Amino acid sequence: MKLASLKSGRDGHLVVVSNDLAWYADASHLVPTMQAALDDWDRMAPYLEVLARDLEHAAIPRERFHEHDAAAPLPRAYQWADGSAYVNHVELVRKARGAELPESFWTDPLMYQGGSDDMLGARDPISLKDEAWGCDLEAEIVVVTGDVPQGVTPEEARGYIRLVGLVNDVSLRNLIPDELAKGFGFVQSKPASAFSPVFVTPDALGDYWKDGKLHRKLLVDLNGQPFGRAVASDDCTFDFGVLIAHLAKTRRVRAGSIIGSGTVSNRDSDGGPGRPVRDGGLGYSCIAEVRMVEKITTGEMKTPFLKHGDTVRIDVHDHREHTIFGAIEQTVQVG
């Protein structure tokens, strides 16, 4: 089943979307919002599944689905906690500034609590006041949980994953060093994130969803050029079960919590840092990473951070090259 929130008020209104993302059927007569569906998932999901099946069979009134009409599936959420499952990414960033990766990073996930009061739709602009802040994309996989009890195991935690989607976790790189030095995590350096037009239930992903990981390539384009083609299930040290269990160690996690994978990142086939897509590599899911590789290989960071008018596109295809979640496609607007 695929679900979306069409733009309407603060929370959008819930629709069921066809597998090919061409059509939708209003679901708000069953349950008004995505959060309300998650709050009462066991009771509501079967009704929504029936609606989704009827939509697939064109057995009910349906409307054309336009990705630009979609708000973030949860236009505001009660929790956004972003992990760093791709330790390759963390290692690269550290290597570029000459810092060792602590051994514990391979067993104890990094995670930060993000702001969740204002989530962007897939076509909303990245509104940036100052280019000097060093605006970057971060292409990631996310899951949305049901009510997770405190102290769940990673295996149990996987069973609480209700939906899967994509995020562009916008980051202001030049504000990060000062905030990290303060030790209290990110506040100013993580403005609003944007989410894929639809979120998808794990069962609807079939073989693409296994062991708490998404087994597909994450397609990242920058200004219309292929920028990243990393496989989300490769070099993924912590599956979503581990990330959720990490968050739930000392407290329960409530329905509608969004958990992020961190920037998707693959090593090169020779084990070294990734090469650009144009050089036959798998590329990058954020600009910081290519800058790190540039620094390591040439001594100089060349690729600039995002500027006014730049476009970012994040998508995942099925084996027929059809979009699964719809694409995040954002333009940077400065001022």
For binding to a copy of itself (CB under 8 A), which residues are involved? 10, 39, 76-79, 81, 84, 108, 110-118, 127, 129, 133, 150-151, 172, 175, 178, 180, 182-189, 191-192, 246-247, 249-254, 256-257
Q: How many residues does the chain have?
A: 335
Amino acid at position 291, single letter: R
Q: CB of residue 190 vs a copy of itself: minimum separation in angstroms?
A: 8
Q: Give kind and range of the element (H or E) at residue 311.
A: strand 311-315
The candidate with the shortest Cα–Cα distance to 289, out of 139, 107, 133, is 139
Cβ of 234: how many Cβ atoms within 10 Å?
A: 16
Q: CB of residue 204 vs a copy of itself: minimum separation in angstroms?
A: 25
What pairs with residue 148 in β-bridges? 253
Q: Cβ closer to a copy of itself: 71 or 324?
A: 71
**Rounded to whole angstroms, what are the CA distances from 311 to 126, 171, 221, 242?**
9, 15, 8, 33
Q: CB of residue 47 vs a copy of itself: minimum separation in angstroms?
A: 19
Q: CB of residue 188 vs a copy of itself: minimum separation in angstroms?
A: 5
Amino acid at position 245, single letter: A
CB burial of residue 334 (10 Å; 0-12, 13-18, 19+): middle
The DSSP annotation for 296-310 comes to: HHHSS--S----TT-
Q: Cβ closer to a copy of itself: 176 or 328?
A: 176
Q: CB of residue 161 vs a copy of itself: minimum separation in angstroms?
A: 16
Q: Cβ closer to a copy of itself: 17 or 34?
A: 34
Q: Give kind and range of the element (H or E) at residue 90.
A: helix 87-96
Task: Give the pair of three-digit tokens for residue 166.
Answer: 């994509």
Q: Cβ closer to a copy of itself: 216 or 246?
A: 246
Q: CB of residue 248 vs a copy of itself: minimum separation in angstroms?
A: 9
Q: Cβ closer to a copy of itself: 43 or 129?
A: 129
The candidate with the shortest Cα–Cα distance to 20, out of 69, 61, 60, 67, is 67
DSSP 278: G
Q: Cβ closer to a copy of itself: 45 or 253?
A: 253
